[in-house]
Structure 1
């Protein structure tokens, strides 16, 4: 009944879409760009799908709590598969085998869900056929053998086999199961990605898996009844949903000897069990119990260490980085590289309260910037992610906006090392990077790959170090080049004319050259081929007249300061950030974004009450760890709640 209801719902939705397409007039606009045939994301699919109850209720649960719903669905599917296989196989019910199947299903549910979500948003090309073929091939060549190895290895492990036996089982079963799965599951995957909404794909695959496993058991019973007919039993169950088949059925056909042996009448079970069978049952139950406890412990550890509120991210990780890497720049690279690699395998720290904050009515931290509602007024300044390597992972820390860069038109190495210094006495940093950058083209390529994932991205641009600041036209060409390459992928472009460690850059703050520069940037941004043009901000100090004359949309007030009395020897161009840099930020008026010296909720509220729309953090993250933004927002909520009382 559930299967037929699901099929009717899916085909009803497709028929409605086809009728709407028939009534839609053909476009006569030849210049209309072709958009890639992408799969809708989870929320859009839920809004578009007109699927009746109870399927609609399942879709709502999947959208609201995807991981919990996926876990429950996987447990039900594995349970049904195992019960069906045991029943159709005419064997006595084995509770331990069902327990093993449930453990395997629980562990695999989250990675499988993440895999298919990633696959749905990847490999989306203008050709729908090419997109579909690529998804099917990638899934079959990568996910299937990996999961088959996991499945058979876990089955053997939970059955109490040693490492040698586990490896033997994997070698004997995985190749055959992979080849046999190619006969069915590519077609199922193609149908799923073509017709099934994202939130119903696991349910659809589960129904197919249960049916296929039952069909294999039916063939096995039919062969036993015929008594002598050889019939191969391929292991073609779903690579991520099937119950454990007998080892021999995956590697060799059913022989007459086995049929005769199975056809022999069974002896009546004895009313008393032997001590050996009791000890074997206890050993299996112990294995299942220990495996379950181990699984729960691993998941609890994963949940803890990937939460930004974990104490390890504040009291262990930052001091450890400073101890292992005496050079601050090496520690910076190690931190961003680790964050990038952890994000790739879904082990990165993330703020699990960010979505609930955005959806809570009357959220005290919500704010509107450029007509867009932000869940909170905290952002991450440029410099932490200079080349847009980890913007996605930084968004996961709870920031409402992330600024990447500064980016120059051509690659440049910046100033010679060492060029970054810690000032632990004030939790500050001194940098004279000199705008080291891989160039606008390299950054544009990275932003293009992640365009559909996140919004509210700021991209900071600057001129090359070798461009003569006195040649205004050459300077304008540098900035316009960056705008041309990066504007299609940025929500806000930040024009940096205030870096203290780039010689001559601050000379551009004179009214006349700055007005020409900003006007050229605004004009180029307005020519961007996109419906919503990127906003333009300028990172500088003073010269408000040029800002108003040029027509930029906002200002970032503050930067690393050149005041470093008592910190480093005079005579070098460098910028200090951290708590000591904030004293010159507060007196500014009518600012949009404030950056410099913000390390806690009290300081963030101070700059926001002074007129800032967003408070940006950088150095606070290097000393406070990935949980800094979560901690700042928590302190802000506490102070706001006290004021309300």
Structure 2
């Protein structure tokens, strides 16, 4: 598969200019559709000699074995259609979603924008996905094939039509459909693209949501590790309070961080754009938040660092700030299918 990954990188050099001439969402959908088609026929299993499976890169956390510390962030594969392809690219873990209890179309288009001068993206997708019932069917089929070599995370969000006061039950319904099919579950309360969602980043709301999910979770033969994903725009004190509330309610860890609504200092013209900023511009703040939370919660909770990793130095910065694991999103869009192995080689050197 290393040879296949090298071939994919060569193909990327030719296809990237074409894809970047397309509308950003159309390019994304076309790419995921091709990866989904590939995943129907191939397992994506990698041999022990592959760079992404070298024993010295493995991480054991949350009771799970991660062949390497670099994972796919939620948002790229919302409906879990291309899991085998992500495995073939060498990811040490894969997070699908965001999945909501109810199917929803998301926000109006255009809703995904590239900012090449900043190596960044802005998205206001709005949790577009086929819903938890459809995800459960797909994940059941995936598990039946028994070919996953890496942990699979499922990222859950609140359905847009669900009132804020019913958010906990909405998350619980999603968990009851897909939680047992995941290796770990993420509670996403930090996307800026669902009205009122970030208002759930309060101690009482975090506690209510996690405690509600813990009911069905603790009834499983193997309760799943729960993590909460927070925004980089939280004030330091609020981030620490939310983190501690999540851990006190039984979470295993946190994901730091989601996209940012702060567009200051960009080279690109963002007039008419709204949503969450990802990519290189948020590396500094998301990493600072990670470091702050690690200092506050101590060494035991699992922290996943995400936001702005565009090279091996960015990944190393996350680990140095206290991350156990690292996720990528925008870097894969700009660097292509060889990016993960590029990170692993750079981190090793």
Question: Is this a same-fold pair by TM over 0.5?
Answer: yes
Following TM superposition, by how much is the alpha carbon of 1:563 offset from its aligned partner in structure 2, in angstroms? Answer: 1.1
Take 2:131 and 2:178, find their aligned partners in 1: how far apart are those partners? 11
In structure 1, the residue matched to 2:254 is 555
Aligned partner of 2:119 among 405, 410, 427: 427
Kindly indicate which of the two structures has a greater share of residues assigned to strand: 2
1:23-34 map, 5 Å: none
Take 1:353 and 1:554, find their aligned partners in 2: how far apart are those partners? 30
Correspondence 1:517 to 2:209: yes
Q: Is the 8 A contact 2:102 2:159 kept in 1?
A: yes
In structure 1, the residue matched to 2:82 is 390
Correspondence 1:537 to 2:248: no
Take 1:544 and 1:340, find their aligned partners in 2: how far apart are those partners? 35
- TM-score (norm: length of structure 2): 0.87
Aligned partner of 1:489 among 153, 178, 181: 181
Deviations 1:384-403 (A, max 9, x none): 00011111111111001100
Following TM superposition, by how much is the alpha carbon of 1:608 offset from its aligned partner in structure 2, in angstroms? Answer: 0.7
Following TM superposition, by how much is the alpha carbon of 1:562 offset from its aligned partner in structure 2, in angstroms? Answer: 0.7
In structure 2, the residue matched to 1:505 is 197
Secondary structure of 2:18's counterpart equals: helix
Q: Is the 8 A contact 1:366 1:377 kept in 2?
A: yes
Aligned partner of 1:329 among 2, 16, 25: 25
Following TM superposition, by how much is the alpha carbon of 1:534 offset from its aligned partner in structure 2, in angstroms? Answer: 1.3
Q: Is the 8 A contact 1:313 1:627 kept in 2?
A: no
Correspondence 1:467 to 2:168: no
In structure 1, the residue matched to 2:37 is 341
Aligned partner of 1:575 among 276, 285, 303: 276
Cα–Cα, structure 1 residues 359 and 333, in superposed 2: closer, same or farther, change >3 Å? closer
Q: Is the 8 A contact 1:383 1:404 kept in 2?
A: yes
In structure 2, stretches of 5+ residues that fail to align are 232-238, 295-301
1:394-409 map, 5 Å: 394-409=86-101
In structure 2, the residue matched to 1:17 is none
Larger radius of gyration: 1
Cα–Cα, structure 1 residues 447 and 604, in superposed 2: closer, same or farther, change >3 Å? same
Following TM superposition, by how much is the alpha carbon of 1:355 offset from its aligned partner in structure 2, in angstroms? Answer: 4.8
Number of aligned residue pairs: 325
1:232-243 map, 5 Å: none
Take 1:343 and 1:391, find their aligned partners in 2: how far apart are those partners? 7
Cα–Cα, structure 1 residues 376 and 334, in superposed 2: closer, same or farther, change >3 Å? same
Following TM superposition, by how much is the alpha carbon of 1:537 offset from its aligned partner in structure 2, in angstroms? Answer: 0.6
- TM-score (norm: length of structure 1): 0.48
Take 1:399 and 1:303, find their aligned partners in 2: how far apart are those partners? 12
Q: Is the 8 A contact 1:339 1:393 kept in 2?
A: yes
Deviations 1:476-514 (A, max 9, x none): 111000000001210111000000121100001111122
Cα–Cα, structure 1 residues 615 and 572, in superposed 2: closer, same or farther, change >3 Å? same
Q: Is the 8 A contact 1:351 1:398 kept in 2?
A: no
Aligned partner of 2:308 among 586, 593, 597: 597
Cα–Cα, structure 1 residues 564 and 558, in superposed 2: closer, same or farther, change >3 Å? same
Take 2:88 and 2:335, find their aligned partners in 1: how far apart are those partners? 16
Take 2:208 and 2:123, find their aligned partners in 1: how far apart are those partners? 29
Secondary structure of 1:586's counterpart equals: helix
Take 2:306 and 2:72, find their aligned partners in 1: how far apart are those partners? 9
Cα–Cα, structure 1 residues 358 and 624, in superposed 2: closer, same or farther, change >3 Å? closer
In structure 1, stretches of 5+ residues that fail to align are 1-301, 639-645
Deviations 1:356-395 (A, max 9, x none): 45775xx432211113332210000000000111111111
Kindly indicate which of the two structures has a greater share of residues assigned to helix: 1
Correspondence 1:624 to 2:335: yes
